Chains A and B, each alone.
Chain A
Amino acid sequence: MEKAYETVIGLEVHVELATKTKIFCGCSTEFGGAPNTHTCPVCTGMPGSLPVLNKEVVNKAIAVGLATNCTITQNCKFDRKNYFYPDNPQNYQISQLYYPICRNGKVEIEVDGKKKWIGIHEIHMEEDAGKLIHDPYTDSSLVDFNRSGVPLIEIVSEPDMRSAEEVIAYLDKLRMTIQYLGASDCKLNEGSMRADVNLSIREVGAEEFGTRTEMKNLNSFKAIARAIENERERQIDILEAGEKVVQETRRWDDNKEYSYAMRSKEDAQDYRYFPDPDLVPIIISDEWLEDIRAKQPEFRDEKKARYQEEYGLPEYDADILTGTKKLADIFEETIALDANPKKVSNWLMVETMRIVKEKEMDADDITFSATNLAKLIKLTDSQAINSTVAKEVFEKIFDEDIDPDKYVEEKGLKTVNDEGALRTTIEQVIADNPQSVEDYRNGKEKAIGFLVGQTMKAMKGKANPGMVNQILKELL
């Protein structure tokens, strides 16, 4: 009989913090830039250079810790993790082993309506490595230290997850929380959020954990789900064959959908951690903690509840709106400009999400401003433009963030409310379409729709539909 297995998963999530400068020097963290143009003696490991800690990194790490129910280590330190690799300029990474800034946290996730807490073992601060680019012409590697020293936090979970769905829900929860804090944009595809999956298998009911492997190079939620499924099967096959899983680090190849062991005899995995003598302890006072606690924003769950209560939005709408920090921001900013919450929600839920889907983009990458959405809503409220025109204008706002007032003016899109002009046009439409007029008069109510359409067409869509209807009925 086939045994039943349980998958045990823990995650190590690296998040790039959204600071202006690197963790230990005054170089910019801006993405892109020609190789090594954001570097200095400190982040290239020049002899004699010394690190000085960016305070904002500590603030953001504390904020994430508080948001994930961690205990903040009020006397914490940095350690050196020693290993040789060309993207690591000093050949040691400044990280935290002995006194990480946060410990013992937890976040709640929900999968298929079931809620569950996932424990966070610790969160520590560290520096990112540089980037290696393969140079096919010389068959060598080129090192770019622009990313070297960009601040990271590593969030280490407890082995509390049992399925890919739970893993995704956990990652999504972390991403939302951190985005709401403004501590990072958390983009898996751009590497500002990276997850390593520790996975082991055990028979259902077993108390001991099995031997785990660590999977790296997972660049999307889909890749994570595929890698988990693949690794679960691989380990079950090994166990079924009566063999033992080897504790190792594996690299996932999402194109080939398989993983391979990253083993090297030159890689002893003995990092010789010790306290970094170049940095002094960080002592976090109660006042400092309170200060950050007081500045914590409203997180998704609270926001969602408030949207339902305060604005009377359906749960589904509140869920979508708060599901992306950017949408929630635009929603609130537009309301702040006196727009009707339900109307704003409608624009975001319907037109915005439609375009986002069409363009296969991430709602995080929306760039239009609340100001212009608010103006658009005012234009429709005052019936200055009709809904067809409004949709057309909105697409321009979405793409180019144009000012709708100016745009409507320049393009002459204002609804025509001039009764005389309408009457003239409608008279012409009636004269041109005797069949439809006939049909209507014979009781075919629907025929009026065609006449309205013809009128709108003649007016280039700018006619006030209510007035058109009224005049038509009157003339017929």
Chain B
Amino acid sequence: MDLNMTAVELGKKIKNKEISVVEATTAYLDAMEEREKDINAFVTIDREGALKRAEEVQKGIDEGKYTGPLAGVPVAIKDNMCVAGMLTTCSSKILSNFVPTFTATAVQKLIDEGAVIVGKANMDEFAMGSTTETSYYGETKNPWDLSRVPGGSSGGSAASVAACEVPYALGSDTGGSIRQPAGFCGVVGIKPTYGRVSRYGLIAYGSSLDQIGPLAKDVTDCATILEAICGKDDRDSTSVKEDGDDFTSALADDVKGMKIGIPKDYLGEGLDPEVKESVLAAAKALEAKGAIVEEFDLSLVEYAIPAYYIIASAEASSNLERFDGVKYGYRTEEFSDLHNMYKKTRSEGFGAEVKRRIMLGSFVLSSGYFDAYYMKALRTKALIKQAFDKAFEKYDVILGPVAPTTALKLGESLSDPIKMYLGDIYTVSVNLAGLPGISLPCGYDKNGLPIGLQLLGKHFDEKSIIRAAYAFEQTMQVKTPAYVTERGE
């Protein structure tokens, strides 16, 4: 069986009875078994559960219960989404034994569509990082070059798709955590508009920024998956019912008259020349298809990262207070009293980057500093949103790079946090403004590493970026990592 199929292609073959669900599931599980020693994209692989589920789903398909395009297709779930009965760790020691008793809404929606969950994907601990190196369960490696990072924090999700261990995966994006690893691993990822997908069951990092989204082989898959997981959820007050959620209807090779803006601020200092060239070539390709492309000044780009790290760290410091050794998760072995138990549990249970952000977040919210840091960041957020609103008065879509560089070497960025944070420069403002963004491959650098193109849309206008991405994809010769082709796919 060709593991390099897209999710939708596989879904069709299953529907047409060319491949059985058990066959497909077994094939991917076998690939995982063989590749995981190199890639380490998973924290948990549930072979037994997946095979049992595959049989059930096959029966469901045969009986007409599952009729959707993703019925029977295996999927990996980022390890910060609760799946009932399945270990859910957030790649942290502090949740090393946590088995949720309920399932995240987005995941449940896939299950209702007949998805087969094969495992939980590795990530940066609590989604804090952009390399997947902060995982307590070991770093994930980039299938394009095993000495490089897959990006993060949804690095396991992106690498598992790129390595053909699964046809698609769910990730989450707080400051670029779907788009940047998609870019580094040469796959497609969508960060939907804030509110488009329920966050219920997603273990929160920065609650006002987090969104769940798909990572897959192509734009068609991503649109199809997003259609399945989106929608208002009564359990998430911040999820909304908005029109324009028929994403697959935007899969048309037609960008005639579409107005595309490229922020000059996204092409300046710090951007790798090869990435720049590739992104501008993508713009040209869209122009050649009839889009109207021009450069403009977005402004405020340099303030996005400081504002983001204040807001995300502050929210995280509060969100992660619940991990205290009382109700679930790790509890330290020995302690003298309650507060000692809290402190030892948390100090032993959290890794360095998580502690760094909790400390920063607690500080910026503390008495005497709240206004200077947190409120200032929320005001900056308002200005950044205004800048995007202004830009979207003129443009349908904003185009730029996903990250300043292609995938970095393992260990390269961990030593200097601020340098690592700067890698998020093109992605974080989207989360601050709550906008949708898509990341897809637009070329390969001299080392053969994929380069990511990012397209941003108006609130709840995922369809425009899907349309533009789909049109560009038609012009693009998408490659498969040698790691995969060597294995005959």
Interface residues of A (CB under 8 A from B): 41, 44-53, 80, 82, 84, 86, 89-92, 143, 264, 266, 270, 272-274, 277-280
Chain B residues with CB under 8 A of A50: 199-200, 235-237
Residue of B nearest to A265 (CB): B339
Contact A48-B338, Cβ < 8 Å, known A86-B326, A272-B365, A278-B238: no
Chain A residues with CB under 8 A of B362: 272
Chain A residues with CB under 8 A of B81: 48
| Cross-chain contact A277 with B82 (CB below 8 angstroms) | no
State the CA gap A266–B236 with chains docked (Å): 34
- Does B202 touch A at the CB level, under 8 Å? yes
Contact A280-B237, Cβ < 8 Å, known A47-B322, A270-B366: yes
Mask, B208-252, CB within 8 Å of A = 1, is 100000000000000000000000001111100000000000000
| Contacts beyond the supplied A49-B201, A272-B362, A274-B370: 7 A-B pairs with Cβ under 8 Å | A47-B98, A48-B102, A48-B104, A48-B203, A52-B234, A272-B318, A277-B206
State the CA gap A58–B128 with chains docked (Å): 36
B155, chain A: closest CB distance, angstroms: 20
Provide 29 A-B residue pairs closer than 8 Å at the C-beta atoms, listed in order of the A residue.
A41-B101, A45-B322, A46-B82, A46-B327, A46-B328, A47-B82, A47-B88, A47-B98, A48-B81, A48-B102, A48-B203, A49-B201, A50-B199, A50-B237, A82-B317, A86-B338, A89-B327, A90-B322, A92-B321, A272-B317, A274-B315, A274-B318, A274-B365, A274-B374, A277-B238, A278-B204, A279-B237, A280-B237, A280-B238
State the CA gap A270–B317 with chains docked (Å): 14
Residue of A nearest to B369 (CB): A272
State the CA gap A324–B88 with chains docked (Å): 53
Chain A residues with CB under 8 A of B98: 47
Which of these, A48, A84, A280, contacts B321 with CB under 8 Å? A84
Mask, B51-88, CB within 8 Å of A = 1, is 00000000000000000000000000000011000001
| Cross-chain contact A51 with B237 (CB below 8 angstroms) | yes
- Does B342 touch A at the CB level, under 8 Å? yes
Interface size class of B (residues with CB under 8 A): 35 or more
State the CA gap A49–B101 with chains docked (Å): 11
Chain B residues with CB under 8 A of A280: 237-238
State the CA gap A44–B322 with chains docked (Å): 10
Contact A277-B208, Cβ < 8 Å, known A47-B95, A50-B235, A143-B326: yes
Chain B residues with CB under 8 A of A84: 321, 324, 339, 342
Chain B residues with CB under 8 A of A82: 317-318, 321, 365
- Does B314 touch A at the CB level, under 8 Å? yes
B287, chain A: closest CB distance, angstroms: 39
A127, chain B: closest CB distance, angstroms: 14
Chain B residues with CB under 8 A of A277: 206-208, 238, 315
- Does B447 touch A at the CB level, under 8 Å? no
Chain A residues with CB under 8 A of B204: 47-48, 278
Tell me whether chain B's interface is mostly helix, strand or loop, or mixed: loop
State the CA gap A90–B201 with chains docked (Å): 15
B window 305-346: CB within 8 A of A = 314-315, 317-318, 321-324, 326-328, 338-339, 342
B184, chain A: closest CB distance, angstroms: 27
State the CA gap A7–B342 with chains docked (Å): 40
State the CA gap A84–B234 with chains docked (Å): 29
State the CA gap A277–B98 with chains docked (Å): 25
State the CA gap A160–B338 with chains docked (Å): 39
Residue of A nearest to B343 (CB): A266
Residue of B nearest to A84 (CB): B342
Chain B residues with CB under 8 A of A45: 322, 327
Chain A residues with CB under 8 A of B314: 274
Residue of A nearest to B325 (CB): A86
State the CA gap A143–B327 with chains docked (Å): 9
In order of increasing CB-CB distance, the 8 nearest A-B pairs are A91-B321, A272-B365, A277-B208, A277-B207, A266-B339, A48-B201, A47-B203, A48-B82
Chain B residues with CB under 8 A of A143: 326
Chain B residues with CB under 8 A of A270: 366-367
A96, chain B: closest CB distance, angstroms: 16
| Cross-chain contact B366 with A272 (CB below 8 angstroms) | yes
B380, chain A: closest CB distance, angstroms: 15
Chain A residues with CB under 8 A of B102: 41, 46, 48-49
State the CA gap A277–B206 with chains docked (Å): 9
Mask, B255-288, CB within 8 Å of A = 1, is 0000000000000000000000000000000000
Residue of A nearest to B233 (CB): A50
State the CA gap A38–B203 with chains docked (Å): 23
* Interface hub of A48, A92, A143 (most chain B Cβ within 10 A): A48
Residue of A nearest to B365 (CB): A272
State the CA gap A344–B234 with chains docked (Å): 50
Residue of A nearest to B326 (CB): A86
Chain A residues with CB under 8 A of B138: none
B403, chain A: closest CB distance, angstroms: 26
